[in-house]
Structure 1
Amino acid sequence: MLDTPLSGVGMTPLRKAAGGMVMSQTYREALSSLVNACGEELDGCPVILVCGAKNIGKSTFNCHLINTLLNHTASVEYLECDLGQTEFTPSCCLSLSTVREPLLGPPFTHQWAPEHMIFYGQSSCETDLDRYLESLKSLWRLYKGETPIVINTMGWVKGFGFQLLVDIICLCSVSHVVQLSSGDKVMCPQLTPEFLRSSHGWQTHPPAQSALGEDNSGTHPAQWSYTLFGIHSEFEGAGRPGEMRHQRSN
C-alpha cells in the first residue's frame, strides 16, 4: 500500500504498467456499430439501452460510448434508471440529462444539474415498482428525440428486476440494446427481440403492449425490432465486486 494520505481514500499503486483501456472484440464491434448508427439517422436518433448484472461495466461502457458519440454530435441525452449508482446526480434520483462535455472521471467529478429530475427517495425501487415506472414514464415523455440517447439500467436483472427491464425496453421503444455479461454463469437471458415478444414485464405483457397502456402490436413494430449487441467480458475480476481497478496511462 502507498504510505501516503492517498492510501486512505482507496488509491493503490499499480503492480505493473497499465496499457490503457483494454477492450474485448465484442466491445469494439458494438461501439463502432453504435457510432455508425448515430451517423446514419435512417429512422430517427438511436435509443440505446445498456443492461447487465452488477459490477459488469455498464458505467464504463456508457461513458466511453458518450465520449465517442460526442466526436460526431453536439450532445447526447442520458436517461438514468439506476437509483443506487447514478452518474450525474445524487443517488435516489431518476433523471434525464443532456451531455455536452466528455466524461473524464468518476461520477463525483461531473455532478451536473440535469434538465429533468425526479427524487424517488430510495436507492432501490423494490418496494414500489409502479411508482418507479411511472417516474420513468414522466421523464421519457420529455425526451424530444432530436439527439441520440443512452439509457442506463439497474444491475438488478433477476425476478422483478428482469420484469422492469422488459418494461423499460418496451416503454422507450429502443433501437439498440447492449447486454453485458461475464464468466460462464448466466445472470440474464439473451434479450433478443424474439425473446422479448413473449416476455412478461411488471406492466407489459404479450402481445406487445406498451407500458404506457397502449396496445402497440400493430402501430409500433419497431418497439420489438431492435439490434442486440452482446458484450462478454473475458477479463479477470469482471462481474465480481471489489475486484476491478481503475487504471490510467499517460
Structure 2
Amino acid sequence: MTTHATSAATPVVRLSREGPLAVVTLDDAEGRNTFSPALTAQLVDCVERAAADPGTRAVLVEGRPELFCAGGTQRELVNFARGDATFDTDDFFRVFARCPLPVIASLQGHAIGGGLVLALYADFAVFSERSLYAGNFMRYGFTPGMGATHLFPARFGRELGTEMLYTARNYRGAELRERGAPVRVVPHADVPRTARELARSVCGPPRTSVELLKQEMAAPLLAATTEAIAREAALHRTSFRLPEVLDRIEAAYGDTGR
C-alpha cells in the first residue's frame, strides 16, 4: 500500500478513544467527505495510529450524520478519464482490510461509489434504513474499480450486488434489507449506537487472538481484491477512454476545463 504523509491542512479526519475502541471520524464538510488527498492521507494515518496503540481492540469508522463518504473527487475522475492516473496506483481504500484489528463501519449517512466500496472493506458495517448506498461507477460510463466487482456480490449477494453495479442507482438501506442483503440495517438514529455495541462486543479477547483472527479473515479478501483490482484496471484502459465518459463527468460536476 502506498505510504501517505499526514497532510498539514486542517484535519478532516479525527481520531478519538472510547476505552479499547478507537473512533475514526471522516468530517470534511466542505469537501463532502470525498477522496481528497487530505482525507485519504489522514484516514490512513488515523487508522494506523489507532492500531499502533496497544490499548486498542477494535476500530470504529464513522462519517458525518448525513454523509459517510461520497467517493472520488471531480479532479480524480477527470485524471482517470485523461489517463493521468489509475485506480490501482494507490490502494488506500483497503486500509480497513489491512488494519490488524477488526474495523466496524458506521454508515449512518449516504455512502456513494468509492465511499461505499471503502466501507465494504470493513469487517462489519451497519447501514441506515433511510440513507442511500450506490455503486455509481457506470453512471459515469466507466466500469467499476477499487475491487468493487468482487466486493458487491460478496457483501450484498450475487444477484443484488451485480444489479447494483450494472444499474448504478441509489438503494436505500431499507431496500437492501427487503432484497435480502446479508448486512445489518437499522433505523437511522440507531446506527451509531448499534455500531458501537457491535464494536465493543469484539473487544473482549486478548489482542493477540484478535489480531490472529483478523489476519486469517482478511487474507482471502485481500487476495481476491488484488486480483479484481488488476482486472478492473485492464477494463479501465478501455472504458475510461470513451469520449462520453468525460462528457458525463462534466455534466455531473460542471466544466472540467478540458
TM more than 0.5? no
User: Would you tell me which structure has more helix in proportion to its own residues?
Assistant: 2
TM-score of the aligned structures, taking structure 2 as reference length: 0.29
Higher relative contact order, structure no. (Cα contacts within 8 Å, ≥ 6 residues apart): 1
